[in-house]
Amino acid sequence: MTSATLTIDLSALAANWRALDCATEVETAAVVKADAYGLGIAKAGPALAAAGARQFFVAMASEGVALRRVLGPGPAISVFSGHMAGDADLIRAADLTPMINSVDQLLMHVEALPGHPFGLQLDSGMNRLGMEPAEWSALRDIALAQRPTLVMSHLACADTPEHPMNAQQLQVFEEMTAGIDAPRSLAATGGIFLGQDYHFDLTRPGVGLYGGLPFVDATPVIALDIPVIQVRDLLAGETVGYANAYTAAKDKRVATIAAGYADGLIRAMGANATLTHEGAKVPVIGRVSMDLITVDISALATTPDNLQLIGLHQSVDSVAAFAGTIGYEILTSLGARYDRVYLTS
């Protein structure tokens, strides 16, 4: 088989949700935006529901529709982007809960879908989505009279526990929501590990479910094994790849493997990257091209059929570090050409 194999362990995904749920004494949702962080909402959604998740979050209404199709009635599905123009039919048909971000969205929602559930998103300092304190102060009584299902905000620096922004946002959120009856939510994955003060009534883990930091004890969810197409002997002084990007200082054994930036393997990782074979690390040489990567396998005693980029020996965050990015980007960039294998036990 020419295509690489992306193995997705749904039992590990479920185990991560249960572990994060046990880390608090409040309800735990599951964030499945961007097609479950690139792993496939049609498989990940039901696996998380079977693990016990009864609240889900997506980025936009169309994602909520796709999730409702696989979950069926029952679980709550909230939409971070709120109620956008043209969303009313989708929200109604799929029984979605928009997280209202502004006065305009609130007016649009109550006019288009009177009585339909909604939540509220407040801006506690991230300056991205949600009502700022002045806007919220003017709208608070009107919005709360409509009985929102949830009032939430989002932490900007939760992955850095010592950052003063965390305590600042916590204080602002507490001030903005003081005295309300609606359930409250502030913590995503990173916020869970900041402690009980950040948990409120509901946590919303995302990347931690899929094996990413800052959940350092997460069970690995994915493995990416890439087939070797060809192996050649490289003589000292010969070059590899576009622009002669690599020149061999001595004789080498080089494997060309079947994946590249068309498969979401970021070109910037280049010669910083390694792959593994039975735990032994072997370096990428030359440039990552559209469909191919060249790897120095001189240190291996045998010629492998496959090399592994992500798995037990290299996490998704390790691979992200090769490219100077984050695990989120690696996960959500994983391409459509992989042979996806889902494990359930």
Task: Give catalytic status of residue 37 as yes or no.
Answer: no
Task: Give catalytic status of residue 252 as yes or no.
Answer: no
Give the whole-angstrom CA distance, residue 205 versus residue 21.
9
Give the whole-angstrom CA distance, residue 250 versus residue 270.
20
Locate tokens 């498989």: which residue?
Answer: 43
Give the whole-angstrom CA distance, residue 303 versus residue 322.
24
Of the candidates 90, 26, 24, the one whose C-alpha atom is nearest the C-alpha of residue 55 is 26
Q: In what order do the strands lie in the sheet with 55-58?
A: 27-28, 202-203, 184-185, 151-152, 119-121, 96-100, 76-79, 55-58, 30-31
Residue at 315: amino acid letter:
S
* Whole-Å CA distances, 88 to 41, 85, 165: 22, 8, 36
Residue 343, C-beta contacts closer than 8 angstroms, at least 6 positions apart? 7, 8, 9, 10, 11
Catalytic residue among 33, 198, 252, 338: 33
Catalytic residue among 43, 198, 210, 242: 242
Instruction: State the catalytic residues.
Output: 33, 242
